[in-house]
Amino acid sequence: MSTKYVYTFGDGKAEGKADMKNLLGGKGANLAEMNLIGLPVPAGFTITTEVCTLYNQKGKDAVVKLIENDVKAGIAHMEKIMNAKFGSKGEAFPLMVSVRSGARVSMPGMMDTVLNLGLNDDAVKLLAEKSGNARFAWDSYRRFIQMYGDVVMGVAAAKGEHNPFEVEIDKLKEAKHIKQDTEFTVEDLQVLVENFKKVVKTKTGKDFPTCPWEQLWGAICAVFDSWMTERAVLYRQLNQIPEEWGTAVNVQSMVYGNMGNNSATGVAFSRDAATGEDIFNGEYLINAQGEDVVAGIRTPQEITIEGSRRWAKLQGISEEERASKYPSLEEAMPQAYADLNAVQEKLEDHFHDMQDMEFTIQDGKLWMLQTRNGKRTGAAMVKMAVDMLKQGMIDEKTALLRQEPAKLDELLHPVFNKEALKKAHVITKGLPASPGAACGRVVFFADEAEEWKNRGEKVVLVRQETSPEDLRGMNVSEGILTARGGMTSHAAVVARGMGKCCVSGAGDIVVDYAKRNFSVNGTIIKEGDWISLNGSTGEVYLGKVETEDATLDEDFTAIMNLAEKYTRMYVRTNADTPKDARKARDFGAKGVGLCRTEHMFFEGHRIDAMREMILSDTVEGRRDALNKILPMQRGDFEGILEAMNGLGVTIRLLDPPLHEFTPNEPASQQYMAQKLGIPVERIKEKVDALHEFNPMLGHRGCRLGVTYPEITEMQARAIIEAACNLKLRGLDPRPEIMVPLVGTVKELKQQAEIINRVAAMVFEEKGVKVDYKVGTMIEIPRAAITADQIAEVAEFFSFGTNDLTQMTFGYSRDDAGKFLPEYIRKGILKTDPFAVLDQEGVGRLVEMGVKLGRKTNADLKVGICGEHGGEPSSVIFCDSVGMNYVSCSPFRVPIARVAAAQAAIEE
């Protein structure tokens, strides 16, 4: 059988269906599905994603030839159902189509839709005649030239300039003293068409194509071309979407929302995408077409009365004014509203998830143009899953699998301090488009947002409106503020997807790109000034508003309880202080997987004692200095062991190269010289002697304990004494002493002997015993390879995947930033191996280490404590190799818990 490249749909039938997203893209698959479940969808066809791949391999001509007949058949199929003719010479109603891109997942970087394709100077007259509505015909035509010129022919605005088509529109509005594009007369629209054609000619040097077929192929190829544009490539990188997926192309008969006051277009959500509440909502515009709502050209109106009233209140608009000027769809077109409401319920029931829908009403009749599972904030993700579980729409496992672990992060982020908020100066209010508390310096251009961010600044991106070009800049900003656009504007939708705070449609602000400032009610805010945004209320504040920790609600707890129920691995935390340990315990951490002791040497005057130890030449001298540190360390360990009472606490012995502690400044060298009563030259000599060419591979880890056993003795004593003290107070401390950077079993054996000897001594002295374990980090490739030998001594392994990655790749962690981005751009690496565990290489060492270790020690407890412990895909890997736990920073604990449960469910 030959490959099928084109799938048709229409009139209650479809060749595709919802689960064919890989082939038809999300939009195409769901257009087919909506047909199949009896919803009104204009007829059309989908060109598969495979054709996109062929297009990139074989080029345009080959592909056009390959699918030419199928496309012709697809158009004929539409002509029949819609009773119209593409390129009609007057024998029938002219068929106009939209050309729409559509990958497996929706991608803002892709080609914008072209509407009303098929129009030209003859067809527009025919359309006017056959529809009896010249205004509508010419409005459609001017829109077509604008869109086609823009997205297919590449007419674009230079930086800081406005879109040249919009400039023409504004000029004409000014000359005619009108505000809305709905006020244009037929003659005005005819003028616009002529001017638009001139814009195309001057900007591209080409005439606007008049042949419908030429237009169609131009648009289809433009969709395929857009798959490889910088914008699309960037979006795929940010969201880990493979290039091989490709995009489908949907060609669909037009339905018209711009036929007059009984027509409209809009966007709707079956639940609230920002908060997750089960409230049908959305926006629409009367007498408008598609992108008008999203582009923020006019102020869109709310779909429901309830939503409309809430909106009016936020805007300070009276009920009378609202009802007369901005009525909801529910009021303006009750029948179409009732139909839409029924459709949204049907779709949610059908897909068992919140739907994000696009629709058009043509002369009172509802048409569905798109549906998909809606993007949502982290908070909405949690709430919807819990609600749908309660409503019996989904089961527990599905509720858990619906969680994008990384998004939980948003819920844990700081919110504005309530008291500080009361005092804050509100400069204006926009729409609460995407929740969060953002605070940063104002910038006006996306590329500059990136520059500022690279300099270490926090920025808030302020725009008239955003477009897909601004993606990069939005991604690095703390928050986004726009003057135009509603809850479904580009800025709002993209920000919610990114989990970024956004206030949109703050209509009082006037952005002046040239002067690089914005004014609002008489106040001028310049580039670089601080502002704060409250994405939950839409309020904009002057200056920095203080933030505080978020509190977690019942729904969050419900998800965490589900995670607990289904997980196999447990989650520990990396914590160096009792405060962090307690925080992590609140988030559900079951112990500490890594307590680094070196931080404890830096605090206050401890560093003096540490330096004294490093600088002294004799064992006695070092012992004296270490004895000063001992009580301080013991105190720290008591605190952490107490915070994790009853749970294991893995404490790592001193790890970094000693030179990190040496006094390098002349002033501190002088200070140490005086304190120790030795000449400053001696100090300098010693510091020089400690210099290493390659400290990461130098005198560090257990190598310190081997050369200075007294350090291990002191640390072991501090830990065991701390545990005994707690035990005497009736607590249940469970220390696990971890020897770092072991490469041979003998290193571990010798260190373990010291630890055990000291422990026995302390038990004698204190007259009490505690359970403790001795284990090691596996972070040198040799340790993974000889894990069977090491496990004969070690009671536990903790994979230190930061160092293991460094040493397996031979990439210095501190220098990799110079070349890794290039490696990723050139496709040598998919992701940064320090962020996402390299399963093919480093992962195999990990797997091998676990297997070999358990071979000689069946009870061996195994975990991971590198940065990867909180990264979802790495957590899933850890589960697959049979680890007992992962350990990560406190704020990542919930993320890791959900990822671990998902791993267990998916297996």
Binding-site positions for Mg(2+): 779, 803
Take residue 770 and report the two structure tokens written for it: 């505690």
Closer CB to Mg ion, residue 70 or residue 112? 112
Tokens representing residue 445 in the block: 């251009």
By CB under 6 A, which span of 251-259, 446-454, 781-789, 892-900 interacts with ligand ADP?
Answer: 251-259
SS3 of residue 184 by DSSP: coil
When CB distances to ligand ADP are compared, the closest residue is: 290
Q: For the segment 343-402, give every residue that binds ligand ADP (CB under 6 A).
A: 358, 360, 369-370
Instruction: Decide: 151 and 114 in contact? Cβ < 8 Å.
Output: yes
Annotated binding site: which residue ranges? 596, 652, 779, 800-803
Among Mg ion, ligand ADP, none, the one that 368 touches (CB under a kind-dependent 5 to 8 A) is none
The item of Mg ion, ligand ADP, none sharing an interface with residue 290, based on CB under 5 to 8 Å by kind, is ligand ADP
CB of 114 vs ligand ADP, minimal distance in Å: 9
Nearest approach, Cβ of 298 to ligand ADP (angstroms)?
14
Q: Which is nearer to ligand ADP, 109 or 405 (CB)?
A: 109
The option from ligand ADP, Mg ion, none interacting with 255 (CB < 5 to 8 A, set by class) reads ligand ADP
98 binds, among ligand ADP, Mg ion, none (CB under 5 to 8 A by kind): ligand ADP
Supply the minimum distance, in Å, between the C-beta of residue 130 and ligand ADP.
Answer: 17
Q: How far is the CB of 9 from ligand ADP (least distance, A)?
A: 12
From the list Mg ion, ligand ADP, none, pick the one residue 331 interacts with, judged by a Cβ distance below 5 to 8 Å according to partner type.
Answer: none
Q: Of 247-255, 450-458, 531-539, 559-567, which part binds ligand ADP (CB under 6 A)?
A: 247-255
Distance CA 176, CA 163 (A): 20
Note the helical H segments in 696-800: 702-707, 709-728, 745-766, 781-785, 787-791
Which CB atom, from 295 or from 415, has the smaller least distance to ligand ADP?
295
- Residue nearer to ligand ADP on the CB measure, 291 or 450: 291
Closest to 253 measured CA to CA, from 4, 8, 6, 29: 8
Q: Characterize 732-760 residue by residue with b for buried, 16 or more Cβ atoms within 10 angstroms of its Cβ, and e for exposed.
A: ebbbbbbbbbbbebebbbbbbebbeebbe
Q: Which stretch binds ligand ADP (CB under 6 A): 3-11, 53-61, 248-256, 301-309?
A: 248-256
Q: What does the alpha-carbon distance between residue 5 and residue 24 come to, in Å, rounded to a whole number? A: 10
* In contact, 273 and 380? CB cutoff 8 Å: yes
Strands 247-253 and 97-103: antiparallel
Q: Name which of 140 and 616 has its Cβ closer to Mg ion.
A: 140
By a kind-dependent CB cut-off of 5 to 8 A, residue 634 interacts, out of ligand ADP, Mg ion, none, with: none
Measured over the CA atoms of residue 245, residue 246, residue 252 and residue 254, the dihedral's sign is positive
Please state, in angstroms and as integers, the Cα–Cα distance from residue 628 to each residue in 6, 484, 633, following that order.
78, 63, 10
- Minimum distance, C-beta of residue 229 to ligand ADP, in the bound complex (Å): 14
Residue 562 CB partners (closer than 8 Å, separation 6+): 396, 399, 400, 901
CB of 372 to Mg ion, least distance (A): 8
Mask for 253-292, x = binds ligand ADP (CB under 6 A): xxx---------x------------------------xx-
Which of 77, 490, 659, 868 is labelled catalytic? 490
Annotated binding site for substrate: 596, 652, 779, 800-803
Q: What does 463 interact with, of ligand ADP, Mg ion, none (CB < 5 to 8 A by kind)? A: none
DSSP string, 436-485: -EEEEEEE--HHHHHHHHHTT--EEEEESS--GGGHHHHHHSSEEEESS-
- In the annotation, is 501 catalytic? no
Pairwise CA distance, residues 105 & 113, whole Å: 16
Q: Which does 42 bind (CB under 5 to 8 A by kind): Mg ion, ligand ADP, none?
A: ligand ADP
**Residue 479 found at the interface with ligand ADP (CB under 6 A):** no
Per-residue H/E/C for 39-59: CCCCCEEEECHHHHHHHHHHC
Q: By CB under 6 A, which span of 250-258, 268-276, 310-318, 896-904 interacts with ligand ADP?
A: 250-258
Of 358 and 410, which CB lies nearer to Mg ion in the complex structure? Answer: 358
* Alpha-carbon span 246 to 102, nearest angstrom: 9
Name the residue nearer to Mg ion (CB basis): 252 or 328. Answer: 252
Query: With CB under 6 A as the contact rule, which of the stretches 9-17, 252-260, 688-696, 806-814 interacts with ligand ADP?
Result: 252-260
Please state the closest distance from residue 124 (CB atom) to Mg ion, in A.
24
Residue that the structure tokens 């009139």 belong to = 11
One residue of 113, 428, 776, 801 binding ligand ADP per CB under 6 A: 113
Among residues 439, 702, 865, 888, the one annotated as catalytic is 865
Binding footprint of ligand ADP, residue count (CB under 6 A)? 16
Site for ligand ADP in 78-107 (CB under 6 A): 98, 100
Q: What is the DSSP string of 119-179?
A: --HHHHHHHHHHHT-HHHHHHHHHHHHHHIIIIIT---PPTTSPPHHHHHHHHHHHHHT--
With CB under 5 to 8 Å by kind, the binding choice for 146 among ligand ADP, Mg ion, none is none
With CB under 6 A as the contact rule, the residue among 115, 384, 460, 462 that binds ligand ADP is 115
Report the candidate in 353, 357, 384 with the shortest Cα–Cα distance to residue 274: 384
CA atoms within 13 A on the CB side of 24: 26
CA 159 – CA 742 distance, rounded (Å): 56
Tell me if residue 490 is catalytic: yes
Around Cβ 679, how many Cβ atoms within 10 Å? 10
Q: How far is the CB of 263 from Mg ion (least distance, A)?
A: 18
Give the one entry of ligand ADP, Mg ion, none that residue 432 binds, where binding means its C-beta sits below a cut-off of 5 to 8 angstroms depending on kind. Answer: none
Binding site for Mg ion (CB under 5 A): 112, 358, 370
Residues 6 or more apart whose Cβ sits within 8 Å of residue 16:
7, 9, 23, 24, 28, 29, 32, 33, 46
Q: Which amino acid is at 425?
A: H
Q: Which is nearer to Mg ion, 308 or 370 (CB)?
A: 370
C-alpha distances in Å from residue 53, one per residue of 245, 246, 249, 274, 892: 8, 6, 12, 36, 38
Tell the smallest beta-carbon distance from residue 112 to Mg ion (Å). Answer: 5
Give the shortest CB-490-to-ligand ADP separation in angstroms: 9
13-14 and 44-47 as β-strands: parallel, antiparallel, unpaired? unpaired
Hey, which residues between 32 and 71 contact ligand ADP (CB under 6 A)? 42
Select the span of 249-257, 322-330, 375-383, 782-790 touching ligand ADP (CB under 6 A): 249-257
Helices (H) and strands (E) in the chain, counts: 37, 32
Task: Name which position in 133, 226, 252, 669 contacts ligand ADP (CB under 6 A).
Answer: 252
Q: E strands along 536-647, which residues?
A: 539-542, 547-548, 570-574, 592-596
Smallest distance, Å, CB 456 to Mg ion?
A: 34
- What distance lies between CA 278 and its chain's CA centroid? 24
Token reading at 850: 């676990």
- Is the CB of 253 or the CB of 370 nearer to Mg ion? 370
Site track 289-318 with ligand ADP (rule: CB under 6 A), x = hit: -xx---------------------------
Compare residues 370 and 464 and give the one whose CB is closer to Mg ion: 370
Smallest CA-to-CA distance from 798 within 862, 890, 745, 885 is with 862
Q: Which is nearer to Mg ion, 139 or 358 (CB)?
A: 358
Q: Which residues are catalytic?
A: 490, 865
Note the residues at the interface with ligand ADP (CB under 6 A). Answer: 42, 98, 100, 113, 115, 252-255, 265, 290-291, 358, 360, 369-370
